[in-house]
Amino acid sequence: MNDKLLVAQALATYLDGALSVDDITNLLETPKKSALGDLAFPAFSLAKTLRQAPNQIAADLAEKISPENFEKVVAMGPYLNFFLDKSATVSAVLAEILRDGENYTTQAQNGENIAIDMSSPNIAKPFSIGHLRSTVIGDSLAKIYQKIGYNPIKINHLGDWGKQFGMLIVAYKKYGDEVAIRKNPIAELLKLYVQINTESADDPTIDIEAREWFLKLENGDTEALELWQWFRDESLVEFDRIYTELGVVFDSMNGEAFYNDKMDEIVAILDEKGLLTESNGATVVELEGFENPALIKKSDGATLYITRDLSAALYRKRTYKFAKSLYVVGNEQSGHFKQLKAVLKKMGYDWADDIFHVPFGLVTKDGKKLSTRKGNVILLEPTIDEAVKRAQAQIEAKNPDLANKAAVAHAVGVGAIKFYDLKNERLNGYDFNLEEMVSFEGETGPYVQYAHARIQSILRKADFKPENAITGSLIVTDDESWAIIKLLQAFDNVVARAARTFEPSAIAKYAINLAQAFNKYYAHTRILDDNDEKNARLALAYATGVVLKESLRLLGVDAPVEM
């Protein structure tokens, strides 16, 4: 039982239904100083119900609550502070992790589906750092939700439709070189895309021509479809290679084009429900509380993102029967997803409430926004290569005799990029700094990986076996080990909070705190010395290693056993 539940149940016994166990759990706070206890209950929430001052409520409860499971329970002003029974807590936490291993805190499967729209790079454009955030945030959320009992369905909603393809077709027909594109497809297509966008700024006819080609594409024009298919196939080869590097797999690669033949049904439903109106020749759905209506079809009949996203939402609900549907898409699309939900609600689909936009901030370089259209991008594949090289150089310097150096360097380099992204709260962007990412010092992925590897080295030297350790003494008495125990005990709450707030950074920050706590303990404690606490110290190291590895796994980061 975790400490919050223990305290909540103890309190609920004496509150006669004034607050439920869940209510109490949510109200509990962690004091800023350990001298003030391990958990604190603010009595303010009971003042109105009990018609007493919070200080008096706290004092009365302190006298009533049995100290059986606690060192002591003390009223401190309007707070009731709980000091846990350290010996009992240490033994319980270590025994649970020794028994459960990587399944520590994993919840029973309820099997509900959760659809996660993620990554979604644009066809015929290189995979850049800008696409990384959606990819790694979505992948981490899938792992987090799987741990708490959901069945995640990862959907790569490829940007393989839209006016941009009209623009690319115009560029190819004007100055494309088939031989050059077949030799180096993505680089050449990017060059064409940047060139045509630059020219269109001064030549409005290019934009008109691009719209005409996209309309041809939507209407099934043979030449347009053949060019589009070629661009798409070449792009997927590169994308697959990068996803393999990142260790990310998908359950669906249905992009925008998949819904091209499904949009007529959406338009028909909207029409049947009397939701469509005309505005300047375009077909729209008027929305209360929005500055602009939802544009379903342009005046030339071409569809838009929202038309395809309405089709996708309905298809996913029918196909996956999702309990939740997440869209891991940049913050700049917030207005689009508000409109999407509003239209679905007007269509009578209450499950629109189960759709969540999971926004995130931008990645910048030297404080400047990145833009594929302007040719200002940081390509992911060479970035991964450089990160792996830097990791390998550090490994060569620290441990030149390490076996499987190439594999470890890859795990560290890729893990460094992912971790650096995920340690930032979603809505906060960050400035790209590869040197800082791959550092073995500071709040980085390699720092956490190295702490895990150090623990594995200790356990190998001791020939540690968890099944043997569980029968021995599991009592450690120093303050630094208690700090680790409290972190280990908090892991399930951290995972639950990460899922509830769609925030993998909660786990990344937790992993950093746990690694720092262990390194501090390691610096002051001779874990392998023979004494009464040796078994418990090794068990503590093992438990820390288990939770560090599981934290990294939930972030999509490998945990090498040697570095």
In the beta sheet, which residues pair with residue 441? none
Q: Which residue has the tokens 């003390």?
A: 74
For the chain, the domains span: 3-84, 380-554
Distance in angstroms (rounded) separating the CA atoms of residues 483 and 355: 39
pLDDT on residue 187: 86
pLDDT recorded at residue 298:
86
Q: Note the pLDDT of residue 368.
A: 85
**Beta strand segments in 360-417, E:** 363-365, 368-369
Question: CA dihedral in degrees (529, 535, 539, 540; nearest 10)?
Answer: -50
- Burial class of residue 182 (count of CB atoms within 10 Å of its CB; 0-12, 13-18, 19+): exposed
pLDDT of residue 203: 92
* CB-based burial label for 535 (10 Å; 0-12, 13-18, 19+): buried
User: In this model, does residue 1 exceed pLDDT 70?
Assistant: no
Mean of pLDDT values over 474-491? 94
CA distance 501 to 223: 46
Percent with pLDDT over 70 in the chain: 99
Query: Among 392, 453, 445, 389, which Cα is nearest to 421's?
Result: 445
Of residues 14 and 327, more confidently modeled = 327
| DSSP states of 257-280 | GGGTTTHHHHHHHHHHTT-EEEET
Residues 12-38 have a mean pLDDT of 90
Query: Which of 200-204, 354-358, 449-453, 559-563 bottoms out in mean pLDDT, i.e. has the lowest?
Result: 200-204
- For the record, the structure tokens of 138 come out as 């979505």
Q: What is the mean pLDDT of residues 243-264?
A: 95
What pLDDT does residue 372 have? 63
pLDDT of residue 374: 62
Question: Facing residues of 159 across strands?
Answer: 122
pLDDT digits (tens, 9 = 90+) for 261-315: 999 999 999 999 999 999 989 999 999 999 999 999 988 777 788 999 999 999 9
Using pLDDT thresholds of 50, 70 and 90, give the confidence band for residue 477: confident
Q: What is the mean pLDDT of residues 15-27?
A: 90
Q: How far is CA 517 from CA 480, 481, 513, in A?
A: 7, 8, 6
Position 163 scores a pLDDT of 82
Q: Flag the least confident range among 101-110, 136-145, 201-210.
A: 101-110
Asked, colleague to colleague, whether 3-84 and 380-554 share their fold, the answer is no
| Amino acid code (one letter) for 377 | V
Q: What is the DSSP letter of 121?
A: P
% the chain with pLDDT above 90: 79
- Read off the pTM: 0.91
Q: What is the CATH T-level fold of the domain 380-554, as seen in this structure?
A: Isoleucyl-tRNA Synthetase; Domain 1 (1.10.730)
Look at residue 299 in the predicted model and tell me its pLDDT: 86
pLDDT in tens, 358-399: 999 999 988 888 776 666 678 899 999 999 999 999 999 999
Contacts of 463 (CB under 8 A, 6+ apart): none
pLDDT at 107: 80
Reported as a pLDDT band with limits 50, 70 and 90, residue 130 is confident
Place of tokens 């009971």: 46
Domain 3-84 architecture: 2-Layer Sandwich (3.30)
Distance CA 140, CA 418 (A): 10
Check residues 34 and 358 and name the one with the higher pLDDT: 358
